[in-house]
A and B are shown apart, each in its own frame.
Chain A
Amino acid sequence: MESFLPVLEAAFAPGNLAWILFGVTLGYLVGALPGLGKGTATAVAIPLTFYLSPLAAIAFLVGIAKGSTAGSAVSAILLNTPGEPSSTPTAMAGYPLARAGKAQKALKMGLFASVIGDLFSTIVLILVAQELAEYALGIGPVELTGILAFSMVFIAGLSGRSMIRGLIAGLFGILVSCVGLEVETASPRLTFGLIELYDGLPLIPVAIGMLALSEMMIQMGQRRRLEQEADLLRGSGRREDRVVTLGDWRRSARAILRGCLIGTGVGILPGLGASVGSFLSYGAERRASGRGVDFEETGAIEGVAAAESADNAVVPASFVPLFAIGIPGSVIAAILIGAFTIQGITPGPLLFLENRDLILGVYMSMMAASLFLLLIGYFGQNVFARIVRISPALVMPVVVFLCCLGAYLQGGGVFGIGVMAVFGVIGFFAKKYDFSFVTFLIGFVIGPSFELSLRQTLGLVTEFSELMDHPVALVFGALAVFGVWRLTVLQRRQHEAMVKDRP
């Protein structure tokens, strides 16, 4: 208990709490703006963390991720424009409510469901991550190679609609991670004589380019649509249309519980992402209600609750594989690896041994962020409802500037901006042609670990029969092969069904 007190002191120090509060507010604000999601928000905020303590830096970024996930419900409900794809079900169930004058009720239920989902998932993270890390400590390079290969296949298959394109994106990410000095011989590789590339391509400019800049290019091209969608919110004078009543809670309690479980499960599995969680939860509630299309025509408070609880439960749960094994399961987790690296910390099972206080502090900060989420969302509701109507012509140039600032600070000056611009263009085409940028980023992040463990494996295992001494690696290798086959078959069936349904 005594050793826990300094952790509590650090986590609840006014300075740390102020950064969490700032993070949640900033995240909520960015999430509420149409077209801006948690990836963009977290990526452009990285420069602010360079000069913070590790705990404040991670807590700040986690606050942004949590805030923007919850905030994206605001534009989804008020404008029918989801801040990011995972809020689409919220828009489907919430926008009709807003049109019927029940916007405040929908926003409040969305907020409460978000906070419950987030808190539930944070508790699961705290309970599960360390246990998993203890198992992970017994993993050797051969096993790690198998696990990383399996994770890549899993992420490639599930984060997009095509296994082939997912695998290409992942392999491209690993290829790009090979740029720089090679790990064993320290000889330059794929550097084209540029000394700036000897340290490899910097993660933050690459991430900002792929996530934020490319998104801005696309959104700026769709500015007319975004402006047209700015509809006026019609308020209602009736109190029961503005507050969440006991009846609403009764209708939504089961949806929230199911959303928490679905979101947490989806978050723990690398690559599935928040959209899968919110759509699954929304679909399950829609089926359970038996209301069919009426759900979208008149709106459904329980639909908002189902989607938001799952959407928000995904974020903390996606840190389980990051903290326990060092594998980023989502874009936010990949960006957090960058933040950990800046602070000189390597995520993975050793985190609980070498940086135990930091992790405990992060857990406490995550709980505090959940509380701030509730306060900021509840008391700032009217302010955020106005902010969503700010013209994209004012917001997007500011984001472009912040992208350049972040890339400049972390990428070695103008060179970083150049790297960001190149990956902005790559990200633009990746998004338009459905090559998963999530898989690319995760491939880029795990590339160096994969290469190191592959080299060690090739040194340790010289004959195929020696693999029999590594059953865990064999199982994951087999699962990777099975995953490629199974996911390809499933995607082909989905595609055929889609073609058949087409008029």
Chain B
Amino acid sequence: MPKSDLIAGIVLLVFGLAMLAVVIPTQTSEGGDATISPALLPQICAVGITGLAVLLVLQAAGRLRRGHPAGVRVPTAEWWAMLAVLLAIGAAIALFVRVSPAVAAALLIAGPMLYMGERRLWLLVGIPAVLLVGSWLLFYRVLGTAIG
């Protein structure tokens, strides 16, 4: 999968360099009297990721030159599904903060159901209702805790 390796390698290379040049120096203290700098392990990891990303890029470029097939392509339907899930979670968080946890949870269940093609109203209402009541019973009554 040379093309996808090439893209992944470049992204990781940029990530590793950004970690080494910007994030680790600004987000890690010197450590004062510490025998070993707190930045040591993050630096080892970032150096490792950067070095391996270079290898990935070189390997992928070589394979592309030799005419290997391009490799993985994420289907459009999976991109949309990822966005739909993130959108449902984002909207549920907004509703959780501004309206109520029950409304947020109902949207979190019914939203993806609608996205997946479910149109039967009794299921769109019934499943969130059963799950919410079930969760409430389980966590409040059986396990004795509080949510939200």
Question: Is the beta-carbon distance between A217 and B82 smaller than 8 angstroms?
Answer: yes
Q: Name the one of A48, A168, A418, A428 contacting B82, with C-beta atoms under 8 angstroms.
A: A428
Please name all residues of chain B whose beta carbon is closer than 8 Å to the beta carbon of A191 when the two chains form the complex.
27
Complex interface residues of chain A between 149 and 201 (CB less than 8 A to chain B): 164-165, 167-168, 171-172, 174-175, 178, 182, 184-185, 187-192
- A394 CB → nearest B CB, Å: 6
Q: Name the one of B1, B27, B32 contacting A434, with C-beta atoms under 8 angstroms.
A: B1
Q: How far is the CA of A435 from the CA of B96 in the complex (A)?
A: 34
Interface residue? B21 (CB, 8 A) = no
Interface residue? A458 (CB, 8 A) = yes
* A433-B96 CB under 8 A given contacts A175-B45, A218-B81: no
Question: Is the beta-carbon distance between A188 and B108 smaller than 8 angstroms?
Answer: no
Q: How far is the CA of A188 from the CA of B30 in the complex (A)?
A: 11
Complex interface residues of chain B between 62 and 81 (CB less than 8 A to chain A): 68, 72, 74-75, 77-81
Question: Is the beta-carbon distance between A404 and B34 smaller than 8 angstroms?
Answer: no
Q: Can you pick out 22 interface pairs between chain A and chain B where the beta carbons lie within 8 Å of each other?
A: A52-B143, A168-B56, A174-B41, A182-B28, A184-B31, A187-B31, A187-B32, A189-B39, A190-B24, A190-B28, A217-B78, A217-B82, A218-B78, A220-B81, A222-B78, A224-B77, A393-B117, A414-B96, A421-B89, A428-B82, A447-B41, A459-B35
Which of A26-34, A342-350, A395-403, A466-474 is the interface stretch? A395-403
Say what secondary structure dominates the interface of chain A.
Answer: helix
Interface residue? A454 (CB, 8 A) = yes
Q: How far is the CA of A164 from the CA of B147 in the complex (A)?
A: 43
- A446 CB → nearest B CB, Å: 12
Contact bitstring A210-225, B, C-beta under 8 A = 1, else 0: 0001001111111110
Interface residue? A499 (CB, 8 A) = yes
Please name all residues of chain A whose beta carbon is closer than 8 Å to the beta carbon of B131 when the two chains form the complex.
398, 401
Name B23's closest neighbour in chain A (CB-CB). A190
Q: How far is the CA of A182 from the CA of B1 in the complex (A)?
A: 38
Contact bitstring A332-354, B, C-beta under 8 A = 1, else 0: 00000000000000000000000
Please name all residues of chain A whose beta carbon is closer than 8 Å to the beta carbon of B113 when the two chains form the complex.
393-394, 397
Please name all residues of chain A whose beta carbon is closer than 8 Å to the beta carbon of B61 when the two chains form the complex.
none
Interface residue? B121 (CB, 8 A) = no
Name A190's closest neighbour in chain B (CB-CB). B27
Q: How far is the CA of A451 from the CA of B38 in the complex (A)?
A: 10
Q: Name the one of B19, B49, B111 contacting A397, with C-beta atoms under 8 angstroms.
A: B111
* A401-B41 CB under 8 A given contacts A185-B29, A394-B123: no
Contact bitstring B118-144, A, C-beta under 8 A = 1, else 0: 100001000100010001001100011
Lowest 4 A-B CB distances belong to which pairs? A221-B78, A221-B81, A393-B116, A397-B112
Question: Is the beta-carbon distance between A168 and B52 smaller than 8 angstroms?
Answer: yes
Name B68's closest neighbour in chain A (CB-CB). A499
- A439 CB → nearest B CB, Å: 12
Please name all residues of chain B whose beta carbon is closer than 8 Å to the beta carbon of A459 when the two chains form the complex.
35-36
Q: Name the one of B36, B96, B117 contacting A455, with C-beta atoms under 8 angstroms.
A: B36
Please name all residues of chain B whose beta carbon is closer than 8 Å to the beta carbon of A77 when the two chains form the complex.
none
